Structure 1
Amino acid sequence: MARIDICVCTFRRPYLAETLRSIARLDAAGHELRVIIADNDQTPSARPLVEELRSALSWPVTYIHAPAGNISIARNACLDAADGDFLAFVDDDEVVTPGWLRALVETAEATNAAAVLGPVRAVYSADAPRWMAEGDFHSTLPVFVNGAIRTGYTCNVLIRWSVPYRGIRFDRALGKSGGEDTAFFYQLTGLGGAIGYAPEAIVEEPVPADRATMAWLVRRRLRYGQTHGMLLGGSRPKALAVVGAKISYCCIMTGLTAFSPIARRRNWLRAVLHMGVFGGVLGMRQGVHYGQLA
């Protein structure tokens, strides 16, 4: 049986309690588990909640104060503390399903993948816009390019914690803007690691009111694009020409689908994504999205 560290980075989020309660209900499948919580606040604000829920978990809990306001610092603190055969990341605004970890590990063992992604299923409230819920704009799934997954995300992943992957760390320069997870997994695949997918390893994420807006989706897609553009190699003029063509195509499709509330928005968000890639290729500075300290 494997030794697995389940890592949760947190920043002033009471929903962490629900995340930990869901971890307590996991089917461990005989594996040896430990939960690592990295608190990214200036002060150890999550410690009382973690101590309160420690007894609800059947496995050891390691609390780390990893200040401040930079998600890469917290993620790297988890990597530094991990000593299992695998480590898993899940966000502090999500709940895992009982079979989540079993599905990730089974896929990793069957495929020998360096990392395995699972789906993040958005849960919309009753007052969310109808087009948003029907189009499911917030769920997270891996992107396949020519049948392979080139990069990943940390909201639902299992990583094989062995050489050479143990040497990878999250870029602190991206710890406030986001995109640190994309860059991390590009490093992993650059070392020859394959990324697998376990569709049964489901994590659920409620969509709060402040994220249930088109403006939030636009900001998120723009940032995704900027990260990918920043990491693109090869000829800059060629990349800009290709991305420019994609922007034009998506804008045309937005116009052609103007009467469809879902397709129109989906095409516009694709255009925004490619606009972000264009800016990333040009080296435009990303905005701050994480760790706003009062």
Structure 2
Amino acid sequence: MGTAPLAPLIELNDGYKIPQLGLGTWPLDDAQVAEAVVEAVARGYRHIDTAAKYGNERGVGNGIRNSGVDRGELFITTKLDGMYQGSGKAAAGLEDSLERLGLEYVDLLLIHWPLPRRDEFVSTWKTFEELQAAGKARSIGVSNFKPAHLDRLFRETDVIPAVNQIQVSPSIPRPAARAFNDSHGIVTESYSPLGASSDLLNAPVLAGVGRKYGKSPGQVVLRWHVQQGLVAIPKTSNPQRMQENMDVFDFELDHDDLAKLETLDAGPDAGVDSDVQGH
């Protein structure tokens, strides 16, 4: 296979760096994800995204150990969901995740959803700050947070999130949310970067742009994420698709291409609401 290319690194606001392309692992089970992690690492992936809610952290840990790559070369993200929200609860939640992963720390720990009606995300974030200070999570961030939720964290806590993982794709570009994140030094990470269904990749616009560069529609979309300065975590267990997803760093979309992709915007009502446990 030769030496696999590695994704570029983006610096976070705490000084750590995150690979710009990672492997999404939902909804793979332990056995599937262990194999997928090994395949992905062999193809140059160094960033693996999981969550307590996915039920596959044990498999991710097995894949890490079987990959043949030193743990220090990998960037591992996990997320804690609603059952770990509230003062102190995230500490035991992360301990459980670390035990399942077989790791001493994660590179990035995220609050999976704000769940604003519970009004516990601020107290949860304060526990995250303690976990970061203790070295259990190098970077801490959030997922599915809207600007209003982030504003509360800014007012009531001490650490600005390093990452906000939200649903982003050319059909759900979220320019306002991304601009808000950017203005506060928060990296936007895209889940479902290729679209939540196959509809986006079937768009004739993508096929046309892809022919220009000898790339697939999926590669065009991932290149769009790269050029927007986003971190993308496409989900796949297919080794050929993994290879394809990593092969997006040798071409650049021009102004006309980007204008064509803007026509794919499905409007402001598309996507997952931040109070719905969607991914």
TM over 0.5: no
Larger Rg: 1
Using structure 2 for the length normalisation, give the TM-score. 0.30
